[in-house]
């Protein structure tokens, strides 16, 4: 009979998971949860969505109450209580009851630390002004909603373009506010690479968000009649009037209790634990946002505060406490966020992390559709896959689009964690029906593109290689002539793919040829042809679509188009819907309208497009 006494510091994802799993393994163990706030188990990831009313009922965010946990799991839950010290020698904790101001001690056989992380609040002048908020717990959400009801903000400033920051931008815009986003780094969503983040930045601007990158807040000036919260003063000298300010610049692990107890704190500021979630003290365990674990790819210490890993860590800790040896496999950092009409998801390492870890890597970009284009509603995906050029080990992936992004990313995340390589990815058997995918799923296509590189069947160039071209290189555009005339990368020459065999004499033998099309698909065919004819050649992965994402100052509106457009004189990227003058089309055209017609249907047969038009 297991009569252990387990004391858990903190609830929410990690601590509550420990308690529930421990009870399922033992009916006789005494399990106590000490929670500093009023709520022991709540969905903090859902807080932004209740602020806008997208999640209507606050009660739906409360996963469990102390009474519910007592009734279902026989847990002793003590809210509004705080563990203020640990006596490791006596195996006791001192607890402050905030309601009575009483301090008492509680012994333990096993102690689990799940203190979470606190929002970073920099010591800037004016940061304590009314109307400046962080969002981490229910209390924060209530304060923001109370402020909104009181002052009815028109202008909001969100500081920080990470996951929560982007979610708050969207939700405040849903409430009708004019929103500015301030990010100190040169891109939003730092876990993904800059050439993928650009798609989100385009989306934010299209939605009317004032995006300020590479700039930081230096102070908050006092509120005025035009700024009910503060005047946000930026390093660039710009000033933003704000009726509401949301600070979302990251979190720091709450490790004060662990530090005071002499537990090991890592260089990243988290509590160091082993694969069993045990600290250096055999009777103390730690889970959630406050810990550091070994990254499964680099084997370096990492701190990745995510809800999914916290839940799994809680289960692992409970297993080990209750005598079921179990190892935590690590945190890959799989995450997803919605940004208005787009979804962005990532897993594994990005380019910056790979470079910092000294890992040799290669990357491919592809732009497939979410399902076959003859079925209505296909949406283009932006996929980036990072892998070992030597053996095809998958290091990471990033996907952005408006349909099925998370499903495709989750397949790749599973492949990474299962030790599959790019060849395995290419051969995965995935479900297919016209409304859902294609015989060659986008995941398969990413694997195929990477496999071609690993096996030496394709040499690739990146979008930034084109910007560094020297006189001994030639950029060859193999799209059709009308496409080329409408939009092209500067200095590219044009020989359409279907004419290439008959015009090989126009190409120099003494230069490296970088071949490109809109997405990298047609240029791959051209690459294979030129290579077989003995030319020195590489294929620009991702094509113009990847290049133009990083060149907004060069790119005209007509350049940002689906690959299906063979020729369109004007295309409105802002809505991705309006076509003013269409001449010839190839492939699938998104449902949309021109000045006189509404495009209701398109059928593709052998590359020819058949449009059904209705008068507006």
Query: Which residues are the active-site residues?
Result: 45
DSSP three-state, residue 180: strand
Query: How big is the chain by its Cα radius of gyration, in Å?
Result: 27
Q: Which of 431, 369, 447 is nearest to 403 (CA)?
A: 369
Strand partners, 584: 567
How far apart, in whole angstroms, are the C-alpha atoms of residue 226 and residue 218?
20
DSSP one-letter code for 379? -
DSSP one-letter code for 265? B
Q: Which of 390, 388, 398 is nearest to 362 (CA)?
A: 388
The helix (run of H) or strand (run of E) holding residue 205 is helix 194-206
Burial class (CB in 10 A: 0-12, 13-18, 19+), 413: buried
In contact, 221 and 228? CB cutoff 8 Å:
no
Task: Locate the DSSP E strands across 190-313.
Answer: 210-213, 217-221, 230-234, 239-242, 244-247, 251-253, 271-272, 284-286, 291-294, 301-302
Can you give 110-135 as a three-state secondary structure string? EEEECCCEEECCCCCCCCCCCCEEEC
Strand partners, 396: 348, 386
The count of C-alpha atoms lying within 13 angstroms of the C-alpha of 447, restricted to the half-sphere facing its C-beta, is: 24
CA distances from 369 to 125, 257, 374 (A): 49, 50, 11
Q: How many CB atoms lie within 10 A of CB 478?
A: 27
């Amino acid at each position: 009979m297991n009569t252990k006494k387990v004391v858990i510091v903190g609830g929410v994802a990690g601590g509550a998971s420990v308690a529930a799993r421990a009870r399922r393994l033992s009916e006789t163990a005494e399990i106590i949860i000490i929670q500093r706030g009023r709520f022991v188990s709540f969905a903090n990831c859902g807080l932004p969505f209740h602020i806008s009313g997208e999640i209507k009922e606050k009660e739906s965010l409360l996963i469990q109450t102390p009474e519910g946990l007592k009734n279902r799991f026989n847990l002793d839950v003590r809210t509004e209580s705080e563990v203020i010290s640990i006596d490791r020698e006596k195996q006791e904790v001192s607890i402050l009851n905030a309601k009575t101001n009483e301090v008492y001690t509680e012994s333990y056989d096993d102690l689990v630390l799940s203190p979470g992380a606190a929002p970073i609040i920099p010591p800037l002048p004016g940061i304590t002004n009314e109307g400046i908020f962080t969002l981490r717990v229910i209390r924060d959400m209530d304060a923001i909603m109370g402020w909104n009801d009181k002052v009815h903000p028109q202008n909001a400033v969100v500081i920080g373009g990470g996951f929560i920051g982007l979610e708050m931008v969207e939700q405040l815009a849903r409430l009708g506010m004019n929103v500015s986003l301030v990010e100190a780094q040169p891109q939003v969503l730092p876990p993904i690479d800059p050439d993928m983040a650009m798609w989100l930045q385009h989306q934010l601007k299209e939605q009317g968000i004032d995006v300020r990158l590479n700039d930081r807040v230096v102070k908050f000036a006092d509120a005025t009649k035009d700024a009910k919260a503060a005047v946000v003063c930026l390093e660039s000298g710009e000033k933003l009037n704000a009726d509401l300010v949301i600070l979302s610049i990251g979190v720091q692990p709450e490790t004060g209790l662990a530090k005071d107890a002499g537990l090991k704190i890592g260089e990243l500021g988290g509590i160091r634990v082993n694969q069993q979630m045990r600290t250096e003290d055999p009777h103390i365990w730690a889970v959630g946002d406050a810990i550091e674990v070994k990254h499964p790819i680099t084997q370096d210490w990492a701190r990745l505060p995510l809800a999914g890993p916290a839940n799994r860590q809680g289960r692992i800790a409970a297993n080990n406490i209750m005598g079921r040896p179990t190892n935590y496999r690590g945190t890959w950092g799989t995450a997803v966020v919605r940004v208005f009409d787009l979804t962005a998801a990532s897993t594994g390492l990005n380019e910056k992390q790979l470079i910092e870890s000294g890992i040799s890597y290669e990357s491919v970009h592809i732009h497939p559709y979410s399902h076959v284009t003859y079925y209505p509603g296909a949406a283009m995906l932006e996929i980036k896959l990072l892998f070992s050029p030597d053996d095809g080990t998958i290091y990471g992936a990033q996907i952005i689009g408006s349909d099925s992004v998370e499903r495709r990313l989750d397949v790749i995340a599973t492949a990474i964690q299962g030790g599959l390589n790019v060849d395995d990815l290419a051969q995965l058997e995935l479900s297919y029906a016209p409304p859902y995918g294609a015989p060659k799923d986008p995941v398969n296509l990413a694997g195929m593109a990477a496999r071609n590189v690993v096996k030496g069947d394709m040499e690739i160039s990146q979008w930034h290689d084109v910007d560094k071209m020297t006189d001994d290189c030639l950029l060859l555009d193999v799209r059709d002539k009308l496409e080329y005339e409408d939009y092209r990368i500067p200095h590219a020459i044009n020989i359409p793919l279907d004419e290439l065999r008959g015009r090989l004499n126009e190409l120099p033998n003494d230069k490296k040829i970088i071949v490109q099309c809109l997405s990298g698909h047609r240029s791959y065919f051209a690459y294979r042809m030129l290579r077989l004819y003995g030319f020195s050649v590489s294929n620009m992965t991702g094509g113009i679509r990847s290049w133009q994402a990083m060149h907004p100052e060069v790119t005209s509106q007509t350049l940002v188009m689906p690959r299906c457009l063979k020729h369109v004189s004007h295309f409105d990227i802002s809505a991705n819907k309006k076509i003013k003058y269409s001449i010839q089309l190839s492939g699938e055209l998104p449902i949309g309208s021109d000045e006189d017609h509404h495009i209701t249907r398109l059928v593709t047969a052998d590359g020819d497009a058949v449009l059904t038009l209705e008068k507006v």
